[in-house]
Amino acid sequence: MKLLLDEGFQFGLGVFETIAVEDGQPVLLNWHLERLNHSMKELGIPRSISPADFTLCLTQHLESNGISTDLLPHHAVKLMVSEHNTVLTIRPNPYTEESRRKGFQLGYSKVRRNETSPLTRHKTLNYGDNILEKRAAASCGLDDLIFLNSREEICEGSVSNIFFVSKGRIYTPPVFCGLLPGIMRRFVLQHAEVTEIVLTRASVDEMQECFVTNSLMGIMPVRRLGSKLFDETGTALKLQRLVLEQVKTEQQI
């Protein structure tokens, strides 16, 4: 594979999507490509990727590596695009039903999100903060760390969006707090009544349930955030069943 020296390589002005693949079929592909193309336009990258482009790129990757779609029951495709480069990789999806049964243990990051930066709203190749904090979480025996912004407002996890439930109502931070509008976040907003509201650490004490989302984990119950424990998981599990129904629907198309 030959990579060309463009602004993606030099300055991180490129974008990527991590797409779940279940039984050989990419999940919510159109949404992923819609976000990818929107971000490229915002970053001034004069390209776009169509579903046909993605399928061709995936097929070529599978054929060149001797991989059959039958061997992709629960995997992740990462598509990276800059002005002159398109790179695709495949790996197993690390999230399992066992991890969902256990639920996540979360902490707060010491790194602050810059809510004024346009890069926080796009999934760019400037992803170092996220990776370093994901590693920091693992070193502490946690599943993820939650970023606050410069105003001490809750934003998102290093690889996830976050939701809370209180008295049957679902809450999540708005994008202007400084977060990436995730694909699974979009799914939850379309399939449930969610209030986007500024949240702080003090707000968490009033919540009865918490869950995080991303394209690979789907909807993941949270058992602990900092010192706050959550016993309820009903909303998260109900939404995860909707995700599975969506997957089955897409596989039939």
Q: Are residues 115 and 232 in the same domain?
A: yes
Ranges of residues in the chain whose predicted pLDDT is under 50: none
Q: Are residues 138 and 160 in the same domain?
A: yes
CATH number of the CATH domain containing 68: 3.30.470.10
pLDDT in tens, 183-237: 999 999 999 999 999 999 999 999 999 999 999 999 999 999 999 999 999 999 9
CATH number of the CATH domain containing 145: 3.20.10.10
From CA 154, how far away is CA 172, in angstroms rounded?
Answer: 9
From CA 219, how far away is CA 215, in angstroms rounded?
Answer: 9
Q: Are residues 76 and 189 in the same domain?
A: no
How many domains are contained in the chain? 2
Q: Are residues 50 and 137 in the same domain?
A: no
Task: Tell me if the pTM is above 0.75.
Answer: yes
pLDDT for 246 equals 87
pLDDT for 70 equals 73
Helix axis angle for 29-42 and 51-64, nearest 10°, is 110
Q: Are residues 178 and 117 in the same domain?
A: yes
* Paired tokens of 125: 């190749």
Residue 215 is part of which domain span? 97-247
pLDDT for 253 equals 59
pLDDT for 184 equals 97
Q: Are residues 49 and 158 in the same domain?
A: no
pLDDT for 129 equals 96
pLDDT for 109 equals 98
